């Protein structure tokens, strides 16, 4: 598996929330780039909407959504310092550190930026504490999206009495000069930040198990509220605390390993969260964590979050994103290398993603620089079955040799985790009649990464898996 992350394709739109890799976490953190490469934000590439994805058992009766609380109003605070006033041509707030939003929030620095909003670290003069202030673009469609995000956050706050959803706490919101502003609790760095600052060395077994358990508890709680997050990724999972300890450098490394002082996590960025009964956009999720039913245009529901969690857990256990690509066909071909062939039933139900399948008749061979790809390394492996329509148009549809090689570098899930996983995961012995942790994790991941969303394990069932038994 390649070490590093592929750069974003030119023209790929940005995400709905703040930029990851430091969003709402440590102020002044380095950006979310890995080894000089930029992680893709949510884009609009991919297959369009098709028929609804196969459904799970019916969710519990939907609760009446609570009304969104009215925006906050603040008393004038003295002194009245300089206030940020301008917007750029895209509707983003223009500001300088030291300026203010209202007379209450002093801007200290950046925490993240995306297509949807900027997240600023601010000093709250009224409470005497630091907060994360999400400032939405002054554009009608983003204001509307912000109101939907507020509705989702308010629903979680009202009905998640146990706190198992582990959602960032919204303190209040207000409308300021055309910008919807959301005030959140200040949290620590993202899990992606921790991986990056540890040179992408994987988390140890106890951390992987704890983070996976919390993520599944969170997703299960959201799904019981008939809410899909739709953009789960390490950048949107923040540690509650930024405190950490540091271990001596391992052999062959000059940098010590940072260990979070607390494993407690929170989910952020509900800008794309969707209630089951509401309109479902055709493409959701940041590319690396996007489920096959989304790519194939089959529609999506709660299982798409489970797929994302599976991809995240692989990344926590290996230090690397599982599917590093920006192309639909290449993405599906990578899945087949890691997880086996896509089932014929899934391909037969494919919606607008049918263009990713072999056409009827002899497949057309892609050419690269005037040469047929099949002559560049021998990647073609024999004839297709008679019903070519039920096979990916791969390798014939590959963009070129680089794409073919990227897929060929992939390996099956178990050896992948075994090759890159932390020693505490890979070499831990079996105990009390259970398989070794590596094999238990592989089995859990296989169930979370099932192609058919109807067969994908639920959050509740995953939490009962042997991987979480000590």
In whole angstroms, what separates CA 251 from the centre of its chain? 32
What pLDDT, on a 0 to 100 scale, did the predictor assign at position 251? 74
What pLDDT band is residue 78 in, cutting at 50, 70 and 90? low
Classify residue 244 as left (phi > 0), alpha (psi -120 to 50) or beta. Answer: beta
Tell me the three state secondary structure of residue 156: helix
Cβ-based burial of 128 (10 A; exposed 0-12, middle 13-18, buried ≥19): exposed
pTM of the model: 0.82
The model's confidence at residue 248, banded by pLDDT at 50, 70 and 90, is confident
Whole-number average pLDDT of the chain? 82
The whole-angstrom separation of Cα 77 and Cα 445 is: 53
Residues with Cβ within 8 Å of 267's Cβ and at least 6 positions away in sequence, in order, are 165, 166, 167, 168, 218, 229, 232, 236, 237, 238
Asked if 72 contacts 172 with a C-beta cutoff of 8 angstroms, the reply is yes
Enzyme catalytic residues: 231
CATH 1.10.510.10 fits 191-468, yes or no: yes
Q: Which residue has the higher pLDDT, 125 or 43?
A: 125
**Closest among 300, 231, 326 to 48, alpha carbons compared:** 300
Which of these, 148, 132, 109, lies nearest to 182 by C-alpha position?
A: 132
pLDDT, one tens digit per residue, over 279-305 is: 999 999 999 999 999 999 999 999 999
Burial 62-92 (b: 16+ CB within 10 A, else e): eeebeebeeeeeeeeeeeeeeebeebeeebb
pLDDT class of 64 with cuts at 50, 70, 90: low
Q: What is the pLDDT of residue 48?
A: 31
Q: What's the CA gap between 320 and 332, in Å, rounded?
A: 18
Lowest mean pLDDT among 24-33, 237-246, 295-304, 342-351: 24-33
Degrees to nearest 5, angle at CA 121 with 118 and 122: 115
Note every long-range contact of 148-153, with CB atoms under 8 Å and residues 24 or more positions apart, other chains counting. Answer: 148/273, 149/182, 149/270, 149/271, 149/273, 150/68, 150/180, 150/182, 151/65, 151/68, 152/227, 152/270, 152/273, 152/275, 153/270
């Amino acid at each position: 598996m390649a070490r590093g992350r592929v750069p974003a394709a030119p023209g790929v739109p940005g995400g709905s929330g703040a930029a990851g890799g430091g969003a709402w976490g440590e102020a002044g953190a380095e950006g979310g780039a890995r080894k000089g490469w930029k992680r893709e934000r949510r884009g609009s590439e991919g297959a369009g909407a098709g028929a609804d994805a196969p459904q799970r058992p019916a969710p519990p009766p939907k609760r009446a959504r609570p009304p969104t609380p009215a925006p906050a109003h603040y008393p004038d605070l003295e002194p009245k310092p300089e206030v940020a006033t301008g917007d750029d041509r895209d509707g983003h707030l223009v500001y300088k550190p030291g300026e203010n939003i209202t007379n209450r929030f002093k801007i200290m620095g950046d925490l993240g930026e995306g297509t949807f909003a900027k997240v600023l670290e601010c000093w709250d003069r009224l409470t005497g504490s630091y907060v994360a202030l999400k400032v939405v673009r002054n554009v009608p469609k983003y204001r509307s999206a912000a109101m939907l995000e507020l509705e989702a956050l308010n629903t979680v706050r009202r009905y998640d009495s146990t706190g198992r959803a582990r959602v960032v706490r919204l303190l209040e919101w207000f409308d300021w000069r055309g910008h919807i502003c959301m005030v959140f609790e200040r949290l620590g760095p993202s899990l992606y930040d921790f991986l990056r600052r540890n040179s992408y060395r994987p988390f140890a077994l106890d951390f992987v198990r704890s983070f996976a358990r919390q993520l599944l508890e969170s997703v299960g709680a959201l799904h019981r509220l008939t809410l899909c997050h739709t953009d789960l990724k390490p950048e949107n999972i923040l540690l509650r605390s930024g405190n950490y300890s540091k271990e001596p450098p391992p052999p062959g490394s000059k940098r010590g390993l940072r260990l979070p002082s607390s494993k407690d996590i929170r989910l952020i960025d509900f800008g794309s969260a969707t209630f089951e009964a509401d309109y479902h956009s055709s493409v959701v999720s940041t590319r690396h964590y996007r489920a096959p039913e989304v790519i194939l245009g089959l529609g999506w529901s709660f299982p798409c979050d489970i797929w994302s969690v599976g991809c995240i857990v692989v990344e926590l256990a290996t230090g690397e994103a599982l599917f590093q690509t920006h192309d639909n066909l290449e993405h599906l071909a990578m899945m087949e290398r890691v997880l086996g062939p896509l089932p014929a039933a899934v391909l037969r139900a494919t919606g607008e993603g049918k263009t990713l399948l072999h056409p009827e008749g002899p497949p057309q061979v892609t050419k690269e620089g005037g040469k047929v790809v099949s002559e560049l390394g021998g990647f073609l492996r024999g004839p297709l079955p008679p019903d070519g329509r039920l096979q990916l148009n791969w390798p014939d549809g590959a963009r070129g040799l680089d794409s073919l090689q990227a897929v060929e570098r992939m390996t099956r899930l178990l050896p992948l985790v075994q090759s890159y996983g932390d020693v505490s995961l890979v070499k831990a012995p079996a105990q009390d009649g259970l398989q070794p942790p590596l094999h238990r994790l592989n089995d859990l991941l296989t169930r979370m990464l099932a192609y058919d969303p109807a067969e994908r394990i639920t959050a509740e069932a995953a939490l009962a898996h042997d991987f979480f038994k000590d």
